[in-house]
């Protein structure tokens, strides 16, 4: 295993080895402060934060290994034995509901030769590797290894061959994993947001199968920025976004004590509007919403990799899966109250909902790709933000804090190693 694996109670910490703080990384770190200012003063991140593979390796440790990373939603694995797999930063993971109904996140890599045990979505009683039929229970314990007894009896073998269970947390049904096992719990850092969206009861919603978009050649942070920034909606999406004009946007002030998400509502001109070409909700509106909540969409980024929009009839969400500094795979999903799925015409209406969202996404895709080309240029900008980009300076503050914390961690280890020499 390339990561250091440490048992911490009933889960494992699995950190990637530190990166070296190279001159390039130090140069970027030294230039971050102007991006982490109050909104009126803040400027965008150095362009290399979006394009440098060296910086991406730094980010995998600073952000993805040390904070909470979204890997799915409980609405896709409602029953015991249900599983869904996700490959996150080169780690094939399995998200499953065990026999007792407890959601677990574990490695999906067979402890024998490394074959990925399964892919996709399904229901199992145990996990059997197709290659040599090594078999694991839903706690990740090895329970069968054909023909291995003469080498090592199962009781011995299972001590060294297992699927490490990782620390996870569920918030509003979204399942998060923390590779290092030491992140501060997520929910206490989402207090204001939890209150704002509680009437959606997202934790009780069921999900439709995900769509993966594999060829998006831009940086994971820009995916979030485009999604959480309402300045562009009045221009890029002119016409199809007019029912939710950016003049009806409001923002929250940044609270470093409640920093688990960046979010803002956009108001609708009419009640029960939605993102499709009828500009109305296609499914029944969630019964528990207030009038105010039926007149807005709440856009939410839970950094680093979850984005969702809470609309009056459900939720659409993106799970961003970085592949490099320059590419992501986007996983898209929809959540609805269980009764919505009982509609006999669900499949037809759902197709209209998907096509509707795609109209906005198609415009964003073309633009995101173009922005990434610009960020790779020697003429790449680093500029001030518009008032309606308040969420972007908030994202920066979230990121810069984590970048600095990890750099300090590496420095401290370097000093300790030098002192011990
Ligand atoms: Fe957009």
- Both 220 and 132 in one domain: the answer is no
* Closest of 194, 256, 187 to residue 402, by C-alpha: 256
Query: How far does the centroid of ligand 1 lie from the alpha carbon of residue 347, in Å?
Result: 26
Q: Is residue 9 part of a domain?
A: no
pLDDT score at 334: 98
pLDDT digit string (tens) for the chain, length 421 residues: 566 899 999 999 999 999 999 999 999 999 999 999 999 999 999 999 999 999 999 999 999 999 999 999 999 999 999 999 999 999 999 999 999 999 999 999 999 999 999 999 999 999 999 999 999 999 999 999 999 999 999 999 999 999 999 999 999 999 999 999 999 999 999 999 999 999 999 999 999 999 999 889 999 999 999 999 999 999 999 999 999 999 999 999 999 999 999 999 999 999 999 999 999 999 999 999 999 999 999 999 999 999 999 999 999 999 999 999 999 999 999 999 999 999 999 999 999 999 999 999 999 999 999 999 999 999 999 999 999 999 999 999 999 999 999 999 999 999 999 998 7
Query: How far does the centroid of ligand 1 lie from the alpha carbon of residue 130, in Å?
Result: 42
**Domain range for 112:** 70-169
- Both 153 and 232 in one domain: the answer is no
Query: How far does the centroid of ligand 1 lie from the alpha carbon of residue 267, in Å?
Result: 16
Question: Could you give the C-alpha distances from 169 to 196, 250, 339, 371, 414, in angstroms and in order?
Answer: 20, 29, 26, 34, 32
Spatial separation of the C-alpha atoms in residues 46 and 29, rounded to whole Å: 9
- Both 143 and 227 in one domain: the answer is no
pLDDT score at 2: 62
Using the 8-state DSSP alphabet, how is residue 62 labeled? I
Residue 313: CATH number of its domain: 3.90.380.10
Structural domains counted in the chain? 2
- Both 146 and 281 in one domain: the answer is no
Query: How far does the centroid of ligand 1 lie from the alpha carbon of residue 45, in Å?
Result: 20
Spatial separation of the C-alpha atoms in residues 27 and 117, rounded to whole Å: 42
105, β-bridge pairs? 95, 166
* Closest of 68, 113, 71, 114 to residue 95, by C-alpha: 71
* Closest of 88, 127, 120, 136 to residue 321, by C-alpha: 88
Query: How far does the centroid of ligand 1 lie from the alpha carbon of residue 364, in Å?
Result: 5
Q: Is residue 403 part of a domain?
A: no
Spatial separation of the C-alpha atoms in residues 166 and 86, rounded to whole Å: 14
Using the 8-state DSSP alphabet, how is residue 378 labeled? T
- Both 209 and 164 in one domain: the answer is no
Query: How far does the centroid of ligand 1 lie from the alpha carbon of residue 390, in Å?
Result: 16
Q: Is residue 420 part of a domain?
A: no
Q: Is residue 279 part of a domain?
A: yes
pLDDT score at 4: 82
Query: How far does the centroid of ligand 1 lie from the alpha carbon of residue 297, in Å?
Result: 14
Spatial separation of the C-alpha atoms in residues 271 and 285, rounded to whole Å: 10
- Both 127 and 223 in one domain: the answer is no
Query: How far does the centroid of ligand 1 lie from the alpha carbon of residue 271, in Å?
Result: 21
Question: Could you give the C-alpha distances from 414 to 77, 107, 182, 347, 411, in angstroms and in order?
Answer: 43, 30, 21, 57, 5
Q: Is residue 402 part of a domain?
A: no
* Closest of 46, 296, 332 to residue 216, by C-alpha: 332
pLDDT score at 1: 56
- Both 274 and 216 in one domain: the answer is yes
- Both 266 and 161 in one domain: the answer is no
Q: Which residues of 195-231 are buried (b: 16+ CB within 10 A; e: fewer)?
A: ebbebbebeebbbbebeeeeebebbbbbbbbbbbbbb
Structure tokens at 394: 């908030």
Please tell me whether residue 314 adopts helix, strand or coil conformation: strand
pLDDT score at 420: 85
Q: Is residue 225 part of a domain?
A: yes
- Both 277 and 387 in one domain: the answer is yes
- Both 136 and 228 in one domain: the answer is no
Residue 144: CATH number of its domain: 2.102.10.10
Q: Is residue 34 part of a domain?
A: no
């Amino acid at each position: 295993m390339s990561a250091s694996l440490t048992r911490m109670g009933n889960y494992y910490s699995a950190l990637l080895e530190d990166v070296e703080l190279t001159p390039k990384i130090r140069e970027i770190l030294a230039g971050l402060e102007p991006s982490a200012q109050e909104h009126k003063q803040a400027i965008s991140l150095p362009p290399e934060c979006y394009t440098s593979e060296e910086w991406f390796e730094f980010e995998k440790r600073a952000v993805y290994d040390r904070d909470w990373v979204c890997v799915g939603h409980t609405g896709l694995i409602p029953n015991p034995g249900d599983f869904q797999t996700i490959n996150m930063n080169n780690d094939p993971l399995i998200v499953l509901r065990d026999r007792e109904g407890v959601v677990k996140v574990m490695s999906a890599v067979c402890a024998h030769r490394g074959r990925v045990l399964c892919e996709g979505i399904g229901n199992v009683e145990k996990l059997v590797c197709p290659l040599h039929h090594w078999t694991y229970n839903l706690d990740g314990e090895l329970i069968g290894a054909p023909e291995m007894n003469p080498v090592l009896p199962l009781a011995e073998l299972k001590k060294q061959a297992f699927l490490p269970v990782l620390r996870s947390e569920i918030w509003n049904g979204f399942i998060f994993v923390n590779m290092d096992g030491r992140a501060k719990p997520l929910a206490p850092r989402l207090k204001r947001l939890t209150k704002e969206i509680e009437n959606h009861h997202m934790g009780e919603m069921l999900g439709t199968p995900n769509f993966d978009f594999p060829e998006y050649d831009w940086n994971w942070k820009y995916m979030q920025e485009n999604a959480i920034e309402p300045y562009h909606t009045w221009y890029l999406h002119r016409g199809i976004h007019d029912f939710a004009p950016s003049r009806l946007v409001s923002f929250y002030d940044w609270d470093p004590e409640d920093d688990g998400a960046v979010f803002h509502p956009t108001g609708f001109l009419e009640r029960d509007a939605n993102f499709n070409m009828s500009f109305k909700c296609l499914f029944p509106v969630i019964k528990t919403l207030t009038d105010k909540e039926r007149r807005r969409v709440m856009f939410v980024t839970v950094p680093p990799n979850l984005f969702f929009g809470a609309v009056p009839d459900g939720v659409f969400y993106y799970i961003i899966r970085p592949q490099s500094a320059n590419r992501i795979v986007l996983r898209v999903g929809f959540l609805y109250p269980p009764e919505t799925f009982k509609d006999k015409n669900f499949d037809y209406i759902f197709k209209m909902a998907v096509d509707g969202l795609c109209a906005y996404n198609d415009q964003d895709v073309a633009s995101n790709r173009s922005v990434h080309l610009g960020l790779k240029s020697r003429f790449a900008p680093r500029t001030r933000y518009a008032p309606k980009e308040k969420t972007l300076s908030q994202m920066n503050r979230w990121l810069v804090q984590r970048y600095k914390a990890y750099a300090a961690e590496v420095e401290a280890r370097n000093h300790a190693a030098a002192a011990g020499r």
